[in-house]
Amino acid sequence: MSRDHRPLISLGPVSQLPPPTYAQAHDDEENEKDAPPKRWYNYLPLCAVVVMLLAPHPSLLIVLVNYHLKVLDAPVSFAQHLTVTYALTFLALTSLIVILARDPGPVTTDKKENSAVEAEDREDINVLQALLSTNDDDIHAPGKWCRKCWAPKPERTHHCSACGRCILKMDHHCAWLGYKCLGHRTYTSFLHFLLCITLLSMYISSVCISALYFAFTNPISIDETTPVHEMFLAFAGIIITIVVGPFFLYHMYLVWTNQTTLEHLSPFLLLRQLPELPEPPADGRKLSDPPLEHELSYRQRMLVREAHGYIRQYDMGWQKNFEQVFGWDRPFGWIWRILLGGGGKGDGRTFPRNPRADELLARLAADLVDADKVH
């Protein structure tokens, strides 16, 4: 009886083996998780956010009734302040519910999509190449694999160790909003939430500062407890504005330049986007392709940090950046997004690239090699 002798391990192409589906990868991940399950205390920051959002309203009602109705006898002003504050509170809560209820960015969503991804990636990469890859687990280049999720990893996708999964266009993991990641499908709601919180705190502080000034200049016209509520609300509104306002402006800068928080705070992610490096000199060190951060000299690290300030791979101009992130097509679509929030454009897997990015990355690759020649 003849036997078919086959090697146990073959280094040849194995393209006939399809990459595992996301469901299979998730099953494998159950046996070896890099993220602990959520505990009850993980939701305490979220409870604190909800309490800080709702707690000022009883004091605000006392101020509006005692000052605007009883003292000023201004029902129109009372209705205006009541409408604005509760409208902003409602919009903030709706954005928060979207962040909590919506998946931030699944790499695959259904069986049809899994099949399409498998068929596409089967032609480009096989399982053996993914196993033998020397890159880090967090691979941002398009067409790569996440070796923790065991699934395709589109561009700008990041593996979150806290959530134990990959997130499309991950911005950051937020412990304050349900211990969840903010990604392609929830980032716009996050911006809307920050905007509503900032406007609400500014509005309440301005109303209470005006009422507090009247209480100090007319101490006999109002009772003794209302100024205490006014002082508390004014102080809390100023503090929240100082804390959340700059954070919102920072994210507006990221939208203006089409960056995520991870991309802005991690300059060495550029190394993974570099083209093939030129040949090093005879006496120079040979870097990996792509280079690894620990291989770089001090001068090379400074070159990468400087290049990170002007190489923005997805910056298509501020107007197109806002249209892409906020997802509007009409000339004044931004008004609708500011009022009601909404989602971004695209599928979260592919993004238009800055036409000058490839040229700048090639120049950076040459500068890294030249810097090694000098030393």
Task: Say whether both 360 and 287 belong to one domain.
Answer: yes
Task: Tell which wins on pLDDT, 309 or 2.
Answer: 309
**Mean pLDDT value across the chain:** 80
Lowest mean pLDDT among 35-39, 248-252, 335-339: 335-339
pLDDT confidence of residue 32: 40
Residue 222 inside a domain? The answer is yes
Q: What percent of the chain has pLDDT over 90?
A: 42
Determine the distance from the C-alpha atom of residue 25 to the mean position of all C-alpha atoms in its chain, rounded to a whole number. 24
Relative orientation angle of helices 44-54 and 56-63, to the nearest 10 degrees = 0
Q: Which amino acid is at 64?
A: L
Q: What are residue 165's DSSP bridge partners?
A: 160
Task: Say whether both 98 and 241 belong to one domain.
Answer: yes
**Burial grade of 76 (CB within 10 A; 0-12, 13-18, 19 or more):** exposed
Residue 23 has pLDDT above 60, yes or no: no
Rounded Cα distance between 29 and 149, Å, is 7
Count other C-beta atoms under 10 Å from residue 198's C-beta: 21
Q: Tens digits of per-residue pLDDT, 250-301? A: 999 999 999 999 999 999 888 888 888 887 666 566 777 778 888 888 888 9
Task: Say whether both 231 and 91 belong to one domain.
Answer: yes
Q: Tens digits of per-residue pLDDT, 216-231? A: 998 888 888 999 999 9
Task: Say whether both 234 and 271 belong to one domain.
Answer: no
Q: What percent of the chain has pLDDT over 70?
A: 78
Query: Which of 217, 245, 273 is the endpoint of a domain?
Result: 245
Query: Which of 195, 215, 245 is the endpoint of a domain?
Result: 245
Residue 96 inside a domain? The answer is yes
DSSP state of 43: G
Q: Which tokens hold the place of 210? A: 């005006």
Task: Say whether both 174 and 318 belong to one domain.
Answer: no
Question: Given the DSSP bridges, would you call strands 158-160 and 180-182 parallel, antiparallel or unpaired?
Answer: unpaired
Indicate the pTM of the whole model: 0.79
From the list 153, 72, 172, the residue with the least C-alpha distance to 348 is: 153
Residue 242 has pLDDT above 90, yes or no: yes
Q: What are residue 167's DSSP bridge partners?
A: 158
DSSP state of 66: I
Task: Say whether both 210 and 336 belong to one domain.
Answer: no
Residue 217 inside a domain? The answer is yes
The verdict on whether omega for the bond into residue 290 sits within 30 degrees of 0, i.e. cis, is yes
For 167, list phi and psi in degrees, rounded to 5: -125, 130
pLDDT confidence of residue 344: 75
Instruction: Specify the DSSP element, H or E, that contains 252.
Output: helix 226-257
220: three-class secondary structure by DSSP: coil
Task: Say whether both 67 and 199 belong to one domain.
Answer: yes
From the list 265, 30, 25, 29, the residue with the least C-alpha distance to 145 is: 25
pLDDT confidence of residue 259: 94
The CA-atom distances, in angstroms, between 347 and each of 9, 17, 265 are 38, 27, 24
pLDDT confidence of residue 12: 46
Q: Which amino acid is at 242?
A: I
Residue 181 has pLDDT above 90, yes or no: yes
Residue 250 inside a domain? The answer is no
**How many structural domains are present in the chain?**
2
Rounded Cα distance between 150 and 127, Å, is 9
Beta strands in 117-247 (DSSP E): 144-146, 151-153, 158-160, 165-167, 172-174, 180-182
The domain of 326 spans 262-374
pLDDT confidence of residue 300: 87
Alpha-carbon Rg for the chain, nearest whole angstrom, is 27
Residue 155 has pLDDT above 50, yes or no: yes
Task: Say whether both 268 and 215 belong to one domain.
Answer: no
Question: pLDDT tier at 35 (50, 70, 90 boundaries)?
Answer: low
- Residue 135 near residue 272 (C-beta atoms within 8 A): yes
Q: Tens digits of per-residue pLDDT, 71-115? A: 988 999 999 999 999 999 999 999 999 999 999 988 875 544 444
pLDDT confidence of residue 101: 92
Task: Say whether both 170 and 289 belong to one domain.
Answer: no
Lowest mean pLDDT among 154-158, 269-273, 278-282, 368-372: 278-282
Query: Which of 189, 218, 245 is the endpoint of a domain?
Result: 245
Task: Say whether both 169 and 270 belong to one domain.
Answer: no
Residue 32 inside a domain? The answer is no
Question: Given the DSSP bridges, would you call strands 172-174 and 144-146 parallel, antiparallel or unpaired?
Answer: unpaired
Lowest mean pLDDT among 105-114, 262-271, 306-315, 363-372: 105-114
Residue 25 inside a domain? The answer is no
Task: Say whether both 128 and 227 belong to one domain.
Answer: yes
Residue 5 inside a domain? The answer is no
For the chain, the distance separating the N- and C-terminal CA atoms, rounded to the nearest angstrom, is 66
Task: Tell which wins on pLDDT, 147 or 16.
Answer: 147
Task: Say whether both 241 and 267 belong to one domain.
Answer: no
Residue 267 inside a domain? The answer is yes
Residue 210 has pLDDT above 50, yes or no: yes
